[in-house]
Chain A
Amino acid sequence: MIDLAFLTEILPKLLSGAPLTLQLAVTSILLGFILALSLALAQQRKSPVVSLPIRGFVAIFRGTPLLVQIFLIYYGLGQFSPSLQAVGLWGFFREPYWCAILALTLNTAAYGSEILRGAIQSVPRGVVEAARASGMSPFLTWRLIVLPLAFRQAIPSYGNEIILMVKGTSLASIVTLMEVTGIAHGLISQTYRAIEVFVCAGAIYLTLNFVIIRALAGLEYWLSPHLRRAP
Chain B
Amino acid sequence: MIEAVRLLGFGEGGWAAALLSAAVVTLILSVLSFALGVVFGGVAAAWRLGRSRILRFLANGYGTVFRGVPDLLTIYLLYYGGSVALTSAGRSLGWQGFIGLPTFATGMLALGVISGAYQAEVFRGAYLAIDPGQMDASRALALSRWVTLRRVIIPQLLWHALPGIGNVWQLILKDSALISVIGLVELMRQAQIGAGSTREPFVFYIAAALLYLAIASFTGIAFRHAEKQASRGTQET
Contact = CB atoms under 8 A, between A and B. Distances in A.
Interface of A: 59-60, 62-69, 71-72, 75-80, 163, 167-171, 173-174, 181, 184-185, 188-189, 192-195, 198, 201-202, 205-206, 209-210
Nearest to A205: B69
B105 interface: no
A188 B69 CA distance: 16
Which of A163, A171, A181, A194 has the most B CB atoms < 10 Å from its CB? A194
Contact of B76 (A75, A163, A198): A198
B70 A76 contact: no
B208 interface: yes
9 contacts: A65-B175, A68-B212, A71-B191, A72-B209, A163-B67, A169-B70, A194-B80, A198-B81, A206-B69
Contacts of A69: 209
A67 B65 contact: no
B43 interface: no
The majority secondary structure among interface residues of chain B is: helix
Nearest to A160: B67
Contact of A167 (B71, B76, B84, B205): B71
A77 B81 contact: no
Contact of A170 (B70, B84, B170, B202): B70
A100 to B, nearest CB: 13
Nearest to A71: B205
A198 B78 CA distance: 10
B181 interface: yes
Contacts of B133: none
B77 interface: yes
A152 B65 CA distance: 27
Contacts of A80: 202
